[in-house]
Amino acid sequence: MLQLPPATAAFMFIIAVVVFPVTVVCSSFPAGVLQLERVFSLSEKIELEVLRARDAARHERILQGGGGGGGGGGGVGGVVDFAVQGSSDPYLVGLYFTRVRLGTPPREYNVQIDTGSDILWITCNSCIDCPRTSGLGVELNFYDITGSSTANAVSCSDPICTTMVPSASSQCSAETKQCGYSFQYGDGSGTSGFYVSDMLYFDMILGNSMIANSSASIVFGCSNYQSGDLTKSERAIDGIFGFGQQGLSVVSQLSSRGITPRSFSHCLKGGGNGGGILVLGEILDPSIVYSPLMPSQPHYNLDLQSIAVNGQLLPIDQSVFATSSNRGTIIDSGTTLAYLIEEAYDPLVEAVTGAVSQSTKPLTFKGNNCYKVLVSVSNLFPLVSFNFAGGASMVLRPEDYLVHMGFVDGAALWCIGFQKVQKGLGVTILGGLPLILGQLNKGGKLEHNWRSRV
């Protein structure tokens, strides 16, 4: 997940899941609230190469893995939103999590937000060799199916298991007859367990009133085995909240019951305190500009058409952004930085450098394109805009795409936060840096709004 600029600049990508033309209308749908928090302490600084290594492992996973088909209808319902904690500075790391309340009586679990996967899963108390403590400053909680009066294991004969569970990841236990799952990730980590149904609790907002403790029965994973990085205490958390497109994603499940529309948005605010919001449902703001998602794709693909620096289009052949099985532009909340294909990265860096050539000279610092700056970057560096289909443009100020790396010879050292995709790969990945994430739908739309408050 990436970050953004100073406090007033909140960038938001919203993808509404609809099968008909989308219009933004004011309405008083109920809303619910969830809180997102950064996984790493805001005081903890991490080098860009560490973030690149983490993202590289993640990209193996999302580019190797499949996405998912549709599922879930387009029910009209309300909105569930969750406040976000975190900084816009990617130098402080851009991993975010939210708290969910599950079971009866409800218990809280911290789960990482991930648009690159579909399923919500929580570590079970039966998990073997799973971390018992976390270096993230959070208490780990383990789900106990016997401790909830509303919990039920999903059986192999249940229609949910036979029709909605992806066959590649499902497995049935001959002994327990439980509907199981097993996910293996490209970075070597993995998890397996079984599906359960239980109550999810959330707060609803209707007009100016909050209705606490709304609930719905959902299906999620109970993890009893983990491997790889998931076993490391320093980054341990209670589970992963997948926001992919399959029918078992929480977004699809709530939509199929008419609780929320099949859409969600995620905004990471800028500023020292960071923060933001995650919304299940539609943001009702007439100023939002829509851009269509690319259809029939396993990931959240946007139609990026051009990039401009100070209003001047860069000489990039638009065909390099075309979407195919291994090309295109993907939104991924789990990726910390933003990655551009070589054909876009090189002219972008050249244009930015040219715009400041009279005031500063470029230098390479730990593999990054950097500049020594004696004045405010806001007054020196150009605006960069990413232009999408439908007229939506993501305009980035210098603080949005530059990362402050420290000081050299009395001057501030600022480096370009965009990273170049490895040669031969054709996927541009918008993570947290300039992106403030998005959502998705079937034939959906990308909503873009600067400085919007949810």
Nearest to 263 by CA among 94, 16, 86: 16
DSSP 165: S
- H runs (alpha helix) in 323-382: 342-355, 377-380
Please report, in tens digits, the pLDDT of each residue of the chain (454 residues total). Answer: 322 222 222 334 443 332 222 222 222 333 444 444 444 443 444 555 555 555 554 444 443 333 333 333 333 456 676 655 533 344 443 456 788 999 999 999 988 877 778 899 999 999 988 999 988 778 999 999 999 999 999 999 898 888 877 665 567 877 778 999 988 765 678 899 999 999 999 876 655 556 667 889 999 999 999 998 899 887 788 999 888 777 888 988 988 888 877 777 766 554 445 556 777 776 666 677 777 778 777 677 889 999 999 999 999 999 989 888 778 888 776 666 778 999 999 999 999 999 999 999 899 998 889 999 999 999 999 999 999 988 888 888 998 888 888 999 899 999 998 888 876 677 877 765 444 333 333 334 444 433 332 2
Radius of gyration of the chain (CA): 21
The distance in angstroms from the start CA to the end CA of the chain is 19
Query: In Å, how far from its chain's centre is CA 359?
Result: 37
Report the alpha-carbon distance of residue 197 to residue 423 in Å, rounded: 44
The two three-digit tokens of residue 196, written as one number: 């359960």
Domain ranges of the chain: 27-284, 301-430
Catalytic residue among 81, 89, 198, 332: 332
Catalytic residue among 55, 81, 114, 158: 114
The two three-digit tokens of residue 424, written as one number: 């031969």
Superfamily, domain 301-430: Acid Proteases (2.40.70.10)
How much is the pTM? 0.68
Burial of 287 (0-12, 13-18, 19+ CB in 10 A): exposed
Q: Is 409 a catalytic residue?
A: no
**The predicted structure's pLDDT at residue 442:** 31
**The predicted structure's pLDDT at residue 15:** 37
**The predicted structure's pLDDT at residue 120:** 95
102, 143 Cβ separation under 8 angstroms: yes
**The predicted structure's pLDDT at residue 214:** 83
CATH topology of domain 27-284: Cathepsin D, subunit A; domain 1 (2.40.70)
The two three-digit tokens of residue 225, written as one number: 């085995």
Q: Is 332 a catalytic residue?
A: yes
Domains 27-284 and 301-430 share a fold: yes
